[in-house]
Copies of this chain bind each other. A is one copy, B any other.
Amino acid sequence: MPAVPMIELWRGGLLESVHMGHAVICDETGQVVQAWGDLDAVIYPRSSCKMVQALPLVESGAADRHGLTDAHLALACASHSGAAIHTQTVERWLAAIGLSESDLRCGTHLPWDNETKNSLVCSGRQPCQLHNNCSGKHAGFLTYSRHIKAGPEYVEPDHPMQQAVRAVFEELTGLPSPGWGIDGCSAPNFATTVHGLARAMAFFAAARETGDARERAAHRLVRAMGANPVLVAGEGRACTELMRAIGGRGAIKTGAEAVYVAILPEIGRAVALKIVDGGTRASEAAMTALLVHLGVLDPAHPVVRKFLDVELRSWRGLHAGEMRRAPGFPA
């Protein structure tokens, strides 16, 4: 089954661009409730699976041992904007475990937060690894690595940290990973299918506070994300605004190249989607459409006009067109 049209851009009454994708909604057991495109398409989850990458940190007891709060755990699952609220928390976290910015292996990029970026650029300062959107995930990797007394090169694929990630990733997706690649932050990213990714999210959606260590860890991560939407992304970003819009009733996470997942414990559903061309505007729109479809997002909420039914305007403010769902998507 090929990818199906999901998001369209219209201008002057004509279709200008279209984004195709694969998506699946699972129930709490990982069974498919509804699907579009090819369930078995192999994808890289990229940052959408950060809560899986953070699971060893919590399940092992390392998070409790080091007194990590929900804010720390939200940052461990974040692709954050590199604003002060993010970088300062990660910096203090590293200090608390006796480490510093130089122990990170995520590399450096300009922060996405405009104010922080402009402050750096205008003062002639360089960004550091704390500004990397993955610095919280890496702080989590370092915390786990210290906990198990493993070496400092925690992004090496054969490091126990990454071996632990691979093991839990394959268990939760229900499939051996068909391969791995190097993510932007230099950590391995394990491939799976769209269904595999949704199945992993279903585990998180089903995880109870009263379950075993892994379930409790998953439950806590979802709670931490839902309770700290601005730490998971940043002001104005889709993950943050969508989590706020659904009133903290779950966790929603983007990944590079247009992957998106949602964990919705209250309704017992999990979602994974991939726009095949990697266009983030479309993955944000498609996730917004699916949240409305699933009844957790009010179609009249302003985020729907911000991320899905977006009005296209000229630089002088003239109406030019709109982004919208493709016919038949999601229903």
Contact = CB atoms under 8 A, between A and B. Distances in A.
B277 A14 contact: no
B9 A314 contact: no
Given A107-B315, A277-B17, A316-B107, A12 B179 contact: yes
Main secondary structure of the interface of A (DSSP, over half): loop
A107 B314 contact: yes
Contact of A314 (B182, B276, B320, B321): B182
Interface string A307-327: 000000011111111000000
Q: How large is the interface on A (under 10, 10 to 19, 20 to 34, 35 or more residues)?
A: 35 or more
A186 B315 contact: yes
Interface string A267-295: 00000000111110010000000000000
A320 B132 contact: no
A145 to B, nearest CB: 17
Please tell me how many copies of the chain the complex holds: 2
A12 B105 contact: no
A284 to B, nearest CB: 14
A177 to B, nearest CB: 10
A183 interface: yes
Contacts of A20: 20, 277
Contact of A181 (B12, B18, B106, B316): B12
Most buried by B among A15, A106, A257, A315: A315
B181 A11 contact: yes
A17 B258 contact: yes
B316 A44 contact: no
A108 interface: yes
Given A16-B44, A178-B14, A118 B122 contact: yes
Nearest to A182: B320
Given A11-B189, A277-B282, 4 more contacts: A13-B181, A14-B191, A122-B122, A184-B315
26 contacts: A9-B278, A11-B181, A11-B182, A14-B178, A16-B43, A17-B276, A17-B278, A18-B276, A18-B277, A105-B316, A107-B315, A107-B317, A109-B315, A118-B121, A118-B122, A121-B122, A122-B122, A132-B315, A181-B320, A182-B319, A184-B314, A185-B314, A186-B316, A275-B277, A277-B279, A279-B279
Interface of A: 9, 11-20, 42-44, 105-109, 118, 121-122, 132, 178-186, 189, 191, 257-258, 275-279, 282, 314-321
7 closest Cβ pairs, A-B complex: A12-B181, A107-B315, A11-B181, A17-B278, A122-B122, A107-B316, A277-B277
